[in-house]
């Protein structure tokens, strides 16, 4: 299996297992499932498989856990697109736009139940990890509804729950199957938490900067819906224009013109640059945690996954700072490198505004 340029442990049976685990005799459901299961990076499955590589566990157990995490993720995106009223995902119409809201809700539920069917015979600790993550995801999504808190702490709390929790759970499940325990498992969790936060911040940055071709959906959707993400929160809290924009956002989503104007301010005023800095800081923390795990192929793959996440930042087409940062990370993208050089004075720059 490949993730970006990273060659990951073999999990050929994943696609087959996803089909088998969700097989149904109901034709109407089969059509929806065919769409639901196509596409996607299989990132969470890759994390399970990679973290399991610290030992040589039963490949069937690893595949089941990996497929379960992927199904939960797919179910959550189907529901999320309904909540967000998103018309596109991965350059295709979203599932509910193609098949209708009710079939989409039920297909999400079906995938969700299929995931649990896969893990019932795995260690009970895995079941606990998964249910905890799903509760967090629901809390995070609910916190985002009508969110009018422009506070950075509230943002990170939401992101930890909404996005990072399933990424943490994927690493935990893999780590348990890979025989990690105690302090080592905790370091793996730290890696995953930082990775999960990076994942969401990059998603936020791409919504503001990415072309529809790059992100497979229209850009500026968050601002149109009044969702404030890290670069926006930085701008609202640091710019002289912050309070005027707060008022606009407090009234609800921005018009397309307002959203474009604000996105321009985020680029020119350094708020996107700031968000990139947070990404690098979090990657640094993630890689630091890996140092406490047993050396070997599994650890190298986790390191490569972390660097691989930064790939979209290299394609950004907004001016200087991010491009410069992207150039800076390039030489380090395939090995340890000197992270201090990459991140520069990250801590001081972030300092007053953000407690990390």
Of 134, 195, 290, 309, which lies in the binding site for ligand FPP, with binding defined by CB under 6 A? 134
Q: Identify the residue whose tokens are 């039920």.
A: 106
Contact 159, 275 (CB under 8 A): no
- The distance of closest approach from Cβ of residue 86 to ligand FPP in the complex, given in angstroms and rounded to an integer, is 6
CB of 84 to ligand FPP, least distance (A): 5
Piece of 18-26, 73-81, 305-313, 323-331 that binds Mg ion (CB under 5 A): 73-81
Beta carbon of residue 204, minimum distance to ligand FPP (angstroms, whole number) = 7
80 interacts with ligand FPP by CB under 6 A: yes
When asked if residue 163 is in the footprint of ligand FPP (CB under 6 A), the reply is: yes
Count of residues engaged in binding ligand FPP, rule: CB under 6 A: 16
Distance from C-alpha of 319 to C-alpha of 142, rounded to nearest angstrom:
35
Q: Does 258 bind Mg ion (CB under 5 A)?
A: no
- Minimum Å gap between C-beta 84 and Mg ion is 4
- Nearest residue relative to Mg ion (C-beta): 84
Q: Does 80 bind Mg ion (CB under 5 A)?
A: yes
Structure-block tokens of residue 121: 């015979």
The correct pick among 13, 184, 203, 258 for binding ligand FPP (CB under 6 A) is 203
C-beta of 143: minimal distance to Mg ion in Å?
14
Count CA atoms closer than 13 A to 297's CA, side-chain side: 13
**Shortest Å distance, C-beta 312 to Mg ion:** 17
3-state secondary structure of 111: helix
Pairing of strands 92-93, 88-89: antiparallel
Q: Return d(Cα 267, Cα 78) in angstroms, integer.
A: 31
Q: Does 75 bind ligand FPP (CB under 6 A)?
A: yes
Q: Pick the piece of the chain touching ligand FPP (CB under 6 A) from 43-51, 117-125, 136-144, 230-238.
A: 136-144
| Residue 138 contacts ligand FPP per CB under 6 A | yes
Quick one: angle between helices 124-144 and 152-159, nearest 10?
140
**Which of 9, 108, 242, 346 touches ligand FPP by CB under 6 A?**
108
The helix or strand, by DSSP H or E, that contains position 92, with its residue range, turns out to be strand 92-93
Structure tokens at 212: 């529809």
Does residue 184 belong to the site contacting Mg ion (CB under 5 A)?
no
Inter-residue contact 96 to 107 (CB < 8 Å): no
Contact 38, 163 (CB under 8 A): no
Q: Confirm or reject binding of residue 139 to ligand FPP (CB under 6 A).
A: no
Interacting partner of 79 out of Mg ion, ligand FPP, none (Cβ under 5 to 8 A depending on kind)? ligand FPP
Q: Which is nearer to ligand FPP, 42 or 162 (CB)?
A: 162
Residue closer to ligand FPP by CB (options 167, 185) is 167
Residue 105 within binding range of ligand FPP, rule CB under 6 A: no
Examine residue 114 and tell whether it contacts ligand FPP (CB under 6 A): no
C-alpha 277/C-alpha 282 separation (Å) is 9
Pick the binder of ligand FPP from 72, 254, 305, 354 (CB under 6 A). Answer: 72
Structure tokens at 179: 């025989």
Strand ranges in the chain using DSSP code E only, listed in sequence order = 2-3, 6-7, 88-89, 92-93
- Residue 13 burial by CB count (10 A; 0-12/13-18/19+): exposed, middle or buried? middle
Query: What is the distance between the alpha carbons of residues 229 and 82, in angstroms, rounded to a whole number?
Result: 20
Rounded to whole angstroms, how far apart are CA atoms 328 and 305? Answer: 18
157/148 Cα distance (integer angstroms): 14
Is 84 one of the binding residues for Mg ion (CB under 5 A)?
yes
Q: Residues interacting with ligand FPP, by CB under 6 A?
A: 72, 75-76, 79-80, 84, 86, 108, 112, 134, 137-138, 141, 162-163, 203
Q: Residues interacting with Mg ion, by CB under 5 A?
A: 80, 84
């Amino acid at each position: 299996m490949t993730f970006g340029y990273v060659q990951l442990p073999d999990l050929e049976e994943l696609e087959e297992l996803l089909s088998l685990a969700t097989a149904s005799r109901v034709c109407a459901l089969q059509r929806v499932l065919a769409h639901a299961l196509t596409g996607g990076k299989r990132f969470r499955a890759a994390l399970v498989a990679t973290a399991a590589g610290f030992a040589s566990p039963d490949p069937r157990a690893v595949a089941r856990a990996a497929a379960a995490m992927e199904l939960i993720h797919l179910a959550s995106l189907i529901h999320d697109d309904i909540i967000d009223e998103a018309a596109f995902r991965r350059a295709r119409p979203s599932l509910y736009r193609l098949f209708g809201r009710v079939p989409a809700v039920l297909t999400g539920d079906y995938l969700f139940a299929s995931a649990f069917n896969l893990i019932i015979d795995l260690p009970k600790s895995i079941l606990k990890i998964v249910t905890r993550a799903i509760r967090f995801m629901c809390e995070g999504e609910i916190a985002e509804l009508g969110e009018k808190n422009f506070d950075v702490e509230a943002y990170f709390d939401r992101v930890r729950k909404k996005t990072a929790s399933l990424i943490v759970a994927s690493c935990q499940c893999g780590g348990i199957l890979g025989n990690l325990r105690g302090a080592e498992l905790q370091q793996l969790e730290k890696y995953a938490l930082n990775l999960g936060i990076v994942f969401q911040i990059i998603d936020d940055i791409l919504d503001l900067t990415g072309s529809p071709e790059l992100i497979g959906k229209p850009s500026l959707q968050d601002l149109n819906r009044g969702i404030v993400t890290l670069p926006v929160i930085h701008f609202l809290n640091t710019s002289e224009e912050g309070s005027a924009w707060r008022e606009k956002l407090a009234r609800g989503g921005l018009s397309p013109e307002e959203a474009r104007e604000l996105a321009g301010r985020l680029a020119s005023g350094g708020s996107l640059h700031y968000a990139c800095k947070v990404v690098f800081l979090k990657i640094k923390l993630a890689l630091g945690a890996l140092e406490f795990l047993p050396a070997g192929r599994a650890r190298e793959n986790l390191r490569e996954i972390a660097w691989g996440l930064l790939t979209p930042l290299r394609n950004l087409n907004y001016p200087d700072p991010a491009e410069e940062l992207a150039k800076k990370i390039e030489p380090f993208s395939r090995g340890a490198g000197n992270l201090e050089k990459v991140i520069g004075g990250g801590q001081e720059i972030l300092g007053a505004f953000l407690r990390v």
